[in-house]
Structure 1
Amino acid sequence: MSAARRDASARLERKLNRRLDARAALDRVRESLPATVQIVVAATIAYFISHDLLGHSSPAIAVTVTISILGFSRDARPRRVLDSAVGITLGIVLSEIALIVIGVGWWQLAVVLGITLLVSRLVSPSAPFAIAAAVQSMLVLLMPPPEGGVFLRSIDAVVAGAVALTVTALIPRDPRRIADRDARRMVSALLESLDSVAAALREAHEPAASLALERLRRTQKHLDAWNESLDSALAIARISPFLRRHLGALRHQAQVLGGLDLAARHLRVITRRISFLVRDGQQRPVLAELFESIRAGIDTLGQSLRKPELATDARAQFAAIMPLLDPAVTLPGAAFNTSIVVHLLRPLLVDLLVATGMPAAEARALLPPA
């Protein structure tokens, strides 16, 4: 390649990267809009209560604590909000007690900061939360005490916590959208992996099997993100009068998540075996068709997250595969290293049927005799 062509290619790559960066930035802004509205409303209400209703001349703690509690965390569960409120308020109370008992100085700062960090880690597993609590604690310790007594700031912290919890219920961020996005990413990763598995079996192509295994290993991050966002959505829907009607769909999503989590684990084991199996150069179109049928069922199951009635169709697709999970029927006369793949698919199909809402005992009853 000539130097001019390499330069042109590099410029094109930089241009594409800038476009991708700009798109990612816009996506972040769009996804942050609900949280931004929630934080702005909550901070304004906290200021109004502390300043206008309670008469606190400088309610900085009410505003900053509200912002710290809500934040832009993916985890918007009321329990997380409550834990944050309790931890930060406790840090502020400790600082105000320290002001009265031991005063202000370098060693007092060290003692209060250490206690606040340890208490915060006890209350919440979130490292950013511990830092936020410590910052609020240090603000109280180092700022001049307000008119009316030091414990006014503890009252402001309580106001902030109450406002944050109320706003979480009445102006929810609707984390269903984040959960739906995480679900689509997980389903897409599984479908791509199964495409590679089928290609590896059909063409005896070991690199395709290796690609499938790598994709399946990466599904864990999608599962973790989906599990967190779905937990948050369920917790908010239980307390929000505006989102409670979505509880049924969210519970169906949780059922599908459980099934796909197990499916990904099974597929990692199966694909690892297939990556060794195809090294003999033998094409296995029958096994490839079996995986393509499973892929079609998972695709329908993923669509049921938007249209729950499609779960019945997915169940029918998986049930139609069950009679084929007998090597004597599907692969008569096949070697053990090939027929074992069919045996390994049996628990996978049971878990997928359970994800559609079928009882586990009923799903196992569809299996042919081993």
Structure 2
Amino acid sequence: MSRIGTFLDSRRRRLRDAALPVLQCALAAGAAFAIARHVAGHELPFFAPIACVLVLGISVTNRLRRSVELALGVSVGVGVGDAIVLVIGSGWWQIAVVVALALLVALLFDVGALLLNQAAVSAVLVATLQPPGTTAAFSRWIDTLIGAALGLLVASVLPSNPLTAARRTVDALLAELEEALRGAAESIESADPETGARVLERIRASQRAVDAFEGAVDAGYEITRIAPGRRRHRGELSRLRTATDPLDLAVRNARVLVRRAVSAETDGEPVGDDVAPTLRALADAVGLLRVDLGGGHRLDGVEIAVLDVAARLPRGGGGFSADVVVAQMRSIVTDLLCATGMDREAARTAASASRR
């Protein structure tokens, strides 16, 4: 698939996965406005949908904890802004006072930068959008509470599937690893350092995929803690969490492997004939892990495939860099066995049990 095709396919998947959360956010924003206007009786409750969108909009792609921080931040900022502007009025120095007090109040809760920034921004909005002494005083804070509460309620009762992002990101991560191993095999077989350099450039940029996978698993766990209907997914999320650190290590070891393969080709160092075929077998095992781990299947077949690769590992590669390539293959085998749930010590022993 071309780069453009790959990009378009990734955008389609992203829009498909985000369709339900986006719809929930849009409907909740409208509902927050309606509640604040028709139930609370506020004529123009613009802070209600704003707070709701801030809370739900970030939960589309980020962790729920950040949504809670935003809800607290906007509520603190609007509340402090309403109270201070009612007393001292509005103007440039009043804005300075409001921002300072909003930040100080937020700091009392020992919070992160996200909450602090949102508190300051909300206070500035209150101090500049409407003058004091009107019926809007404190109604804006009530509107904010309505919107933030509705956003958190929707995020808790109607959360997105905690497995969607986790499965998508582990698939992307393992695709990068599989492609790197196949690329290294092709580079070694053709003795072409330029091919290896392209593979190395790509695998060096794979840390984003690792971080995305780890973040998606953590976000999924947060959803299962607050949404009873999603707790049935904890088993699969636990298995994915078990795989996070080993897959991170596998990718790091693959970077070293590809770099040493390029060095061997550049230096004209001989590489054993069995190294490239074994790399392809290892890539096949990664492909099987990609299907079974991402699909929620049993990993028995993956473990057997990786153990078969372990038995085929050559004792050495033929030269210094080639020996490092083989050593990294053994390390990746260990990582993949750990990703299936095997104890690391047992995985090391199995990876060293070469019949060659």
Q: CA deviation at 1:148?
A: 5.6
For 1:359-370, list aligned pairs within 5 A.
359-368=343-352
* Mapped partners of 1:317, 1:254: distance in 2: 21
* Mapped partners of 1:310, 1:23: distance in 2: 28
Q: CA deviation at 1:76?
A: 3.9
The answer to whether 1:250 aligns with 2:237 is: yes
Q: Find the counterpart in structure 1 of residue 164 from structure 2.
A: 177
- Residue 58 of structure 1: SS of its match in structure 2? coil
Q: Find the counterpart in structure 2 of residue 87 from structure 1.
A: 73
Number of matched residues? 348
The match for 1:228 among 215, 219, 243 is: 215
For 1:183-262, list aligned pairs within 5 A.
183-262=170-249
* Mapped partners of 1:323, 1:27: distance in 2: 38
Residue range with higher mean Cα deviation, 222-231 or 147-156: 147-156
The answer to whether 1:354 aligns with 2:354 is: no
* Mapped partners of 1:98, 1:55: distance in 2: 23
Alignment check: 8 A CA contact 1:201 1:284 kept? no
What do residues 67-106 of structure 1 show as CA deviations (whole Å, max 9, x unaligned)?
Answer: 1222155544321111111111111122122213432111
Q: Find the counterpart in structure 2 of residue 12 from structure 1.
A: none
Q: CA deviation at 1:31?
A: 4.3
Alignment check: 8 A CA contact 1:260 1:352 kept? yes
* Mapped partners of 2:288, 2:263: distance in 1: 30
What do residues 168-223 of structure 1 show as CA deviations (whole Å, max 9, x unaligned)?
Answer: 01121325333322222222111111111001222222112112211211211222
- Residue 59 of structure 1: SS of its match in structure 2? coil
Residue range with higher mean Cα deviation, 42-51 or 253-262: 42-51
What do residues 139-181 of structure 1 show as CA deviations (whole Å, max 9, x unaligned)?
Answer: 3223145866722322322222221111001121325333322
- Residue 228 of structure 2: SS of its match in structure 1? coil
The match for 1:311 among 275, 281, 299 is: 299
What do residues 238-258 of structure 1 show as CA deviations (whole Å, max 9, x unaligned)?
Answer: 322332222222222222332
TM (normalized to structure 2)? Answer: 0.85
Alignment check: 8 A CA contact 1:95 1:138 kept? yes
Residue range with higher mean Cα deviation, 30-39 or 141-150: 141-150
The answer to whether 1:343 aligns with 2:331 is: no
Alignment check: 8 A CA contact 1:87 1:123 kept? no
* Mapped partners of 1:74, 1:217: distance in 2: 28
Across the aligned residues of Structure 1 and Structure 2, the Cα RMSD in angstroms comes to 3.2
* Mapped partners of 2:10, 2:258: distance in 1: 33
Letter of the structure 2 residue corresponding to residue 239 of structure 1 = I
The match for 1:284 among 258, 264, 272 is: 272
Letter of the structure 1 residue corresponding to residue 78 of structure 2 = I
Q: Find the counterpart in structure 2 of residue 6 from structure 1.
A: none
Alignment check: 8 A CA contact 2:250 2:335 kept? yes
Letter of the structure 1 residue corresponding to residue 257 of structure 2 = I
Letter of the structure 2 residue corresponding to residue 339 of structure 1 = D
The answer to whether 1:296 aligns with 2:284 is: yes
Alignment check: 8 A CA contact 1:206 1:278 kept? yes
* Mapped partners of 2:332, 2:8: distance in 1: 41
Q: Find the counterpart in structure 2 of residue 155 from structure 1.
A: 142
Change in CA separation of 1:268 and 1:117 when aligned onto 2, cut-off 3 Å: farther
Alignment check: 8 A CA contact 1:120 1:133 kept? yes
